[in-house]
Amino acid sequence: MKKDIHPEYHEITVQMTDGTTYATRSTWGAPGDVLKLDVDPKTHPAWTGVHRLIDGGGQLAKFNKRFKDLGLES
């Protein structure tokens, strides 16, 4: 391996969305940093099976406005 081109591999703490934590090794951040997750297997729809449609007037709102007369519920 070439010297001085690889990132430092150190221990960090990962904090899940429910507040639980675990230690792991990573090249992210600095030694001892806490990585706070916004999405994890406890909250992501792919793992929970619960899908929520969140839209602030974007593509979903345009779709619903365009096809509101078809009798489909959003």
Domain ranges of the chain: 10-69
H helices then E strands: how many in the chain? 2, 3
Q: What average pLDDT does range 4-27 have in this prediction? A: 94
In the DSSP assignment, the letter for residue 13 is: E
> CA 55 to CA 47: how far, in whole Å?
21
Whether 49 shows a pLDDT value over 80: the answer reads no
This prediction's pTM: 0.57
